[in-house]
Amino acid sequence: MKHLTLIIVALSMLATLVISCSSKKQDSVEQNGNNSKVLVCYFSATGTTEKAAKRIAELTGGKLHNIEPAELYTDADLDWRDSLSRSYVEMHNRTFRPALKDSVTDMSDYSVVFIGYPNWWNTHPTIINTFIEANDLKGKTIVPFMTSGGSNIINSEQELHEAYPTLNIAKGLLMNGVSDAEIKAWISGIGI
Ligand SMILES: Cc1cc2nc3c(=O)[nH]c(=O)nc-3n(C[C@H](O)[C@H](O)[C@H](O)COP(=O)(O)O)c2cc1C
């Protein structure tokens, strides 16, 4: 009788273990559709896009990567009303390429690369061009996302398609005020 009780206890422990392992596997598949390896890159001057990037990383199981400029932007640099400010000067010469802190990022492990940024003058900051041109993104799915004071992502997406016609650029998302459900629907629409 004692042996029978021990066997029943052991079997129920084994069953619990098997069920918890299979539900963990199910979770990660749900988080990340077909299990593509995801890198969530972002440039954020004042922290808003960083928060958006963290939400995407959480929902996709992706790894975060901060696109850091060699020289951080100060408040004075970000004064869009001042035609002599750094951001104004950089953005009014679209061939300008601000230097990155890390000139190259190892992306060999990743098939999906999200790239997030704030809207500056109704498009992406030129450091995003520096980042795209410095790295080998061929064959990967590039997914833009943006935060803004109200402008949308459409013009930035169009400029990215025009500047990098050989890259596979998926539909982007303006992350202002979006719910987790909206982020999930966007991600699953892309087929990640
Ligand atoms: C230099 C500069 C230019 C901006 N231009 C725009 C713009 O054209 N349209 C807009 O909606 N928001 C604009 N914004 C607001 C930012 O896009 C918004 O605050 C964004 O969420 C900031 O993201 P961050 O905190 O990750 O840097 C601008 C902000 C700065 C600093």
Give the pLDDT mean for 159-172.
98
Quick check: helix, strand or coil at residue 12?
helix
In this prediction the pTM is: 0.85
Angle at the Cα of 118 from the Cα atoms of 34 and 122, rounded to 5 degrees: 110
Summarize pLDDT for 51-108 with one digit per residue, the tens.
999 999 999 999 999 999 999 999 999 999 999 999 999 999 999 999 999 988 889 9
Q: Are 143 and 115 in contact (CB under 8 A)?
A: yes
In the predicted structure, residue 159 carries a pLDDT above the cut 80? yes
Question: Which residue's CA is the nearest one to ligand 1's atom 8?
Answer: 121
Label residues 20-51 b or e (16+ Cβ within 10 Å = b): eeeeeeeeeeebbeeebbbbbbbbbbeebbbe
Instruction: Tell me, in angstroms, the distance from the centre of ligand 1 to residue 118's CA.
Output: 5
**Torsions phi, psi of 48, nearest 5?**
-70, -45
**Torsions phi, psi of 55, nearest 5?**
-65, -40
Give the pLDDT mean for 169-174.
98
Atom of ligand 1 nearest to the CA of 73: 31
Q: How many CA atoms lie within 13 A of 23 on its CB side?
A: 6
Q: Residue 88's CB: how many other CB atoms inside 10 A?
A: 17
Instruction: Tell me, in angstroms, the distance from the centre of ligand 1 to residue 30's CA.
Output: 33
Mean pLDDT of the chain: 87
Instruction: Tell me, in angstroms, the distance from the centre of ligand 1 to residue 125's CA.
Output: 9
Counting Cβ atoms within 10 Å, is residue 95 exposed (0-12), middle (13-18) or buried (19+)?
exposed
Instruction: Tell me, in angstroms, the distance from the centre of ligand 1 to residue 146's CA.
Output: 10
Q: Are 54 and 178 in contact (CB under 8 A)?
A: no
Q: How far is CA 105 from CA 5, 66, 71, 131, in A?
A: 57, 10, 17, 9
Confidence at 192, pLDDT banded by 50, 70, 90 = confident
Summarize pLDDT for 113-145 with one digit per residue, the tens.
999 999 999 999 999 999 999 999 999 999 999
**According to the model, what pLDDT value does residue 106 have?**
86
Residues 6 or more apart whose Cβ sits within 8 Å of residue 134: 100, 103, 104, 105
**According to the model, what pLDDT value does residue 184 have?**
97
Question: Which residue's CA is the nearest one to ligand 1's atom 2?
Answer: 120
Give the pLDDT mean for 139-165.
98
CATH number of 38-190: 3.40.50.360
Residues contacting ligand 1 via CB (< 6 Å): 44-50, 78, 80, 87, 118-122, 147-151
Instruction: Tell me, in angstroms, the distance from the centre of ligand 1 to residue 124's CA.
Output: 9
Confidence at 28, pLDDT banded by 50, 70, 90 = very low
